[in-house]
Chain A
Amino acid sequence: MASFIGIDLGTTYSVISYIDDSGRPKIIHNSEGHNITASCIAFDGSEVQYTGEEARKMLGIEDNVAARFKRDMGKKIKHTFNGKKYTPTQLSAEVLKRLYFDAKTKIGEIDEAVVTVPANFPNEARVETKNAAKLAGIKVKHMIDEPTAAALHYAYEGNGALKGHYAVYDLGGGTFDISIVKIDGFDVKVVATDGIAELGGDDFDTALQKLVQKKYLKATGEELEEDEFTKTAAEEHKKSLSKRDINPKIQKERIEITRAEFEDEISGMIARAEMTCETVIELSKIKLKDIKAVFLVGGSTRIPIVQQSVKRIFKMEPTATHNVDEVVALGASIYAAHKGDQSKLNIAQKKAINKVSVQDVTPRYYGCVVSDFDPEKEKKVSIVSIVIEKNVKRPCSHTETYYTPFDNCEKLRMRITASNALETDPDFVNILYDDWLGPLPAGNRQGDPVEVTYSFDDDGIMHAVFLEVNSGLKKEVDISKLDTDTDSIEID
Chain B
Amino acid sequence: MSISNNLLLQIKLAVAIAVADNEFIISEEKTIKKWFESKIEDSSASQKNKLLKDLDNEISRLRELAKSGQLELELVFYEINNIDDRSFKYAALDLSIEVMVADSTIHPNEVKLIEEIIEELGLDQSTAKKYIRNQILKMEKPPKDIDIEGLLKINPSISNKDSQKLIRREFDKWNSASTSAQSSKQRKYAQIMINIISKVRERYV
Number of A-B contacts (CB under 8 A): 98
A 372-403 binary contact with B (CB < 8 Å = 1; else 0):
00101111000000000000000000000000
Query: Is there an interface contact between B134 and A427, defined as CB atoms closer than 8 Å?
Result: yes
For the complex, what is the distance from the CA of A147 to the CA of B179, rounded to whole Å?
A: 19
B60 at the interface (CB under 8 A from A): no
| Size class of the A contact interface (CB-based, 8 Å) | 35 or more
For the complex, what is the distance from the CA of A242 to the CA of B114, rounded to whole Å?
A: 46
Q: Which of A390-440 contact B (CB under 8 A)?
A: 418-421, 423, 425, 427-431
A278 at the interface (CB under 8 A from B): yes
Q: Which residues of A contact B178 (CB under 8 A)?
A: 196-198
Query: Is there an interface contact between B133 and A428, defined as CB atoms closer than 8 Å?
Result: yes
A470 at the interface (CB under 8 A from B): no
B198 at the interface (CB under 8 A from A): yes
Q: Which residues of A contact B87 (CB under 8 A)?
A: 377-379
Q: Is the interface of B mostly helix, strand, loop or mixed?
A: helix
Most buried by A among B179, B186, B194: B179
Query: Is there an interface contact between A430 and B194, defined as CB atoms closer than 8 Å?
Result: no
Q: How far is the CB of B171 from chain A (nearest CB, A)?
A: 5
| Size class of the B contact interface (CB-based, 8 Å) | 35 or more
Query: Is there an interface contact between B175 and A272, defined as CB atoms closer than 8 Å?
Result: yes
For the complex, what is the distance from the CA of A278 to the CA of B175, rounded to whole Å?
A: 13
For the complex, what is the distance from the CA of A419 to the CA of B190, rounded to whole Å?
A: 13
Q: Which residues of B contact A419 (CB under 8 A)?
A: 176, 180
Query: Is there an interface contact between B90 and A271, defined as CB atoms closer than 8 Å?
Result: no
For the complex, what is the distance from the CA of A279 to the CA of B201, rounded to whole Å?
A: 14
B181 at the interface (CB under 8 A from A): yes
- Using CB atoms, name the residue of chain B closest to A428: B177
A 273-310 binary contact with B (CB < 8 Å = 1; else 0):
01110110000000000000000000000000000000
User: Given that A275-B171, A428-B133 are contacting pairs, would A423 and B86 also be in contact in the complex, using a CB cutoff of 8 Å?
Assistant: no
Q: Give 5 nearest A-B pairs by CB, closest first.
A: A421-B176, A420-B176, A268-B198, A271-B198, A430-B180
Can you offer 28 A-B residue contacts whose CB atoms are under 8 A? A196-B178, A198-B178, A268-B202, A271-B199, A271-B202, A275-B167, A279-B172, A374-B127, A376-B123, A377-B87, A379-B87, A418-B180, A419-B180, A420-B172, A420-B175, A420-B179, A420-B180, A421-B176, A423-B173, A427-B137, A427-B186, A428-B134, A428-B177, A428-B180, A428-B181, A430-B182, A487-B183, A487-B184
